[in-house]
Amino acid sequence: MSALTPELVIHNSETRSKAVFVPRKAGEISLYVCGMTVYDYCHIGHARVMVSFDIITRWLRHLGFKVTYVRNITDIDDKIIARANENGESIDALTARFIAAMDEDAAALGTLRPDLEPKATDHVDDILRMVDTLVQKGHAYPAKNGDVYFNVSSFPRYGRLSNKKLDELQAGARVEVDDIKQNPMDFVLWKAVKPGEPSWTSPWGQGRPGWHIECSAMSTCCLGNGFDIHGGGGDLLFPHHENEIAQSEAATGETYVNTWMHVGFVQVNAEKMSKSLNNFFTIREVLKQYHPEVLRYFIAASHYRSPLNYSDAALDQAKQALERFYATLGALLNASAGEPATTADYEARFAAAMNDDFNTPEALAVLYELVREANRCDKAGDATGAAQFANLLKRLGAILGLLQYEPEAFRQAGAGDAAFIMEVEALIAEITAVRQAKNFQRSDEIRAQLQAMGVAVEFSREGIRWRKAD
């Protein structure tokens, strides 16, 4: 399963169909995912995007692809400004606090750090260059209020991602007061400064970037004018991703993205999760009740494109499934056991599921079968066979970022242990960062801190794993 395969099939939101995936450059994949706007704690919708694209990235790398995974951070926008003013704190303090919280949540969920995490405020110069290019090419115009707008009428293929027609969109749109826009669907690229807001110098006066242009500038800066996969939540398909296509292709003259991937909505009692409906849950709230791996399993148990219905009952089911898996591992796992030929079919079916648009529910079904086979061998007195199936269970589970704990440690880690796990994962994330920076002294200091907490750290090619020390 480690060899590159042409059989990987991915659903493309633009074509609304699945197709064999062919990267732009053989053996390499460029992936950009819209990340968080850092003015509050991450919610379950964010968790689903984090975990889904973490699993996708893990599988692509397992296939042998060199993946460059970019996930941006939006650290300037209307919501951030409003929240900072509401709290009476600086924007920098607000965003730094919630970036740190985001990193802790992501680490607790067992997600690998993206290769690049660009922040919008670090790419203002790139944004200005792209806006200027669009103005020079006639795709954008400065308005009398000081804003700069993209002219959607200048881009004939506007609406191709969302399958919306421009004339229908125009008919349903409200015209801006004083006819500031040439077309009611035109969207802002650069916002003129308002009193009390942060701003940057531009050819059109002091101002700040619009939201859509931030992602276009950051993605093209990190991955080039065109790249393989662009992902994000389903709520971003229109207008955000539609606008990204228009402004990026108008600026570069090249195809922006080959494959668009969108994660389904999180629902609560069949309704979209939202603050207005008071059915909004943060990752931290959920982890007060459930082990982080339970939440990860719960997300993986639904196909990434399907709606995900959040409930305590569903999380309880995920917990029971993991407890069964870990019980099997705890009783039967033997690292010295070999790999029998009889497990090849399970491995092949796991690969077939993941190669079919990352079908994690089918992949988990294979893991269930391995548990059943391991227990069957055990009852039959076949200790070697039981250990072999248990080994494969652990190995395939690891590809999904599951079964990463020692069985006893998982059993002992109840809801009250979530804060401890998050603290450990945050320290593990810091070890990764300081080792990349070759600050081995700090790495040793963190390892000593973890040891004092009763945590053993193991380094491998796949990353850093930890367990409660014996």
Tens digits of per-residue pLDDT, 268-309?
877 878 766 778 899 999 999 999 999 999 999 999 999 999
Q: What is the mean predicted confidence (pLDDT) over 454-460?
A: 77
Same domain, 32 and 159: yes
Structural domain contains residue 374: yes
Chain center to CA of 407: 27
Name residue 259's beta-bridge partners.
229
The whole-number pLDDT of residue 468 equals 64
Buried b (16+ CB within 10 A) or exposed e, 82-105: ebbeeeeeebeebbeebbebbbbb
Report H helices in 224-291.
242-252, 283-287
Q: Using only C-alpha atoms, what is the Rg of the chain?
A: 24
Query: If DSSP states are collapsed to H, E and C, what string results for 371-436?
Result: HHHHHHHHHCCCHHHHHHHHHHHHHHHHHCCCCCCCHHHHHHCCHHHHHHHHHHHHHHHHHHHHHH
The whole-number pLDDT of residue 15 equals 97
What is the token pair recorded at 322? Answer: 């993991």
Q: Is 156 exposed, middle or buried (0-12, 13-18, 19+ CB in 10 A)?
A: exposed
Same domain, 182 and 38: yes
Q: Give CA separation, 179 vs 131, 155, 165, 182, 209, in Å.
A: 21, 20, 22, 7, 21
Same domain, 217 and 341: no
Same domain, 340 and 259: no
Same domain, 260 and 317: no
Q: Answer for the pair 364, 300: CB distance below 8 angstroms, yes or no.
A: yes
Choose the final residue of a domain: 220, 249, 271: 271
The β-bridge relationship of strands 207-209 and 187-192 is antiparallel
Same domain, 221 and 319: no
Q: How confident is the model at residue 362 (pLDDT cuts 50, 70, 90)?
A: very high
Structural domain contains residue 305: no
Q: What is the mean predicted confidence (pLDDT) over 203-221?
A: 97
CATH number at residue 95: 3.40.50.620
Q: Is the pTM of this model over 0.95?
A: no
Same domain, 257 and 332: no
pLDDT of 266 over the 60 cut: yes
Q: What is the mean predicted confidence (pLDDT) over 94-123?
A: 96
The whole-number pLDDT of residue 321 equals 96
Q: How confident is the model at residue 4 (pLDDT cuts 50, 70, 90)?
A: very low
Q: How confident is the model at residue 2 (pLDDT cuts 50, 70, 90)?
A: very low
The β-bridge relationship of strands 207-209 and 227-233 is unpaired
Structural domain contains residue 9: no
Q: Give CA separation, 325 vs 52, 266, 292, in Å.
A: 21, 26, 15
Please state, in angstroms and rounded to a whole number, the distance separating the CA atoms of residues 401 and 395: 10
The whole-number pLDDT of residue 238 equals 96
Q: How confident is the model at residue 154 (pLDDT cuts 50, 70, 90)?
A: very high
In the chain, the largest separation of any two C-alpha atoms, in whole Å, equals 82
Q: Answer for the pair 289, 415: CB distance below 8 angstroms, yes or no.
A: yes
Same domain, 265 and 352: no
Q: What are 305-338's pLDDT values in tens digits?
A: 999 999 999 999 999 999 999 999 988 865 455 5
Q: How confident is the model at residue 96 (pLDDT cuts 50, 70, 90)?
A: very high
pLDDT of 405 over the 50 cut: yes
Same domain, 41 and 127: yes
The β-bridge relationship of strands 271-272 and 308-310 is unpaired
Give Cβ neighbours of residue 26 (< 8 Å, ≥ 6 apart). Answer: none
Report H helices in 35-151.
44-62, 78-87, 91-108, 124-136
| Domain carrying residue 371 | 313-468
Q: How confident is the model at residue 416 (pLDDT cuts 50, 70, 90)?
A: very low
CATH number at residue 317: 1.20.120.640
What is the token pair recorded at 290? Answer: 């459930």
Structural domain contains residue 125: yes
Structural domain contains residue 361: yes
Choose the final residue of a domain: 238, 271, 304: 271
pLDDT of 124 over the 70 cut: yes
User: Among 143-147, 359-363, 430-434, which stretch is predicted with the lowest mean pLDDT?
Assistant: 430-434
Three-state DSSP state, 151: coil
Q: What are 7-54's pLDDT values in tens digits?
A: 899 999 999 999 999 999 999 999 999 999 999 999 999 999 999 999
What is the token pair recorded at 215? Answer: 């992602």
pLDDT of 219 over the 80 cut: yes
Same domain, 264 and 317: no
Same domain, 337 and 447: yes
Structural domain contains residue 14: no
Q: What percent of the chain stands above pLDDT 70?
A: 91
Q: What are 369-388's pLDDT values in tens digits?
A: 999 999 999 999 988 889 89
Same domain, 71 and 155: yes
pLDDT of 224 over the 70 cut: yes
Q: What is the mean pLDDT of the chain?
A: 90
Q: What is the number of domains present in the chain?
A: 2
Q: What is the mean predicted confidence (pLDDT) over 405-415?
A: 74
What is the token pair recorded at 141? Answer: 């115009």
Structural domain contains residue 6: no
Structural domain contains residue 253: yes
Choose the final residue of a domain: 211, 240, 271: 271
What is the helix (H) or strand (E) element at residue 277, kind and residue range? none
The whole-number pLDDT of residue 172 equals 59
Chain center to CA of 48: 7
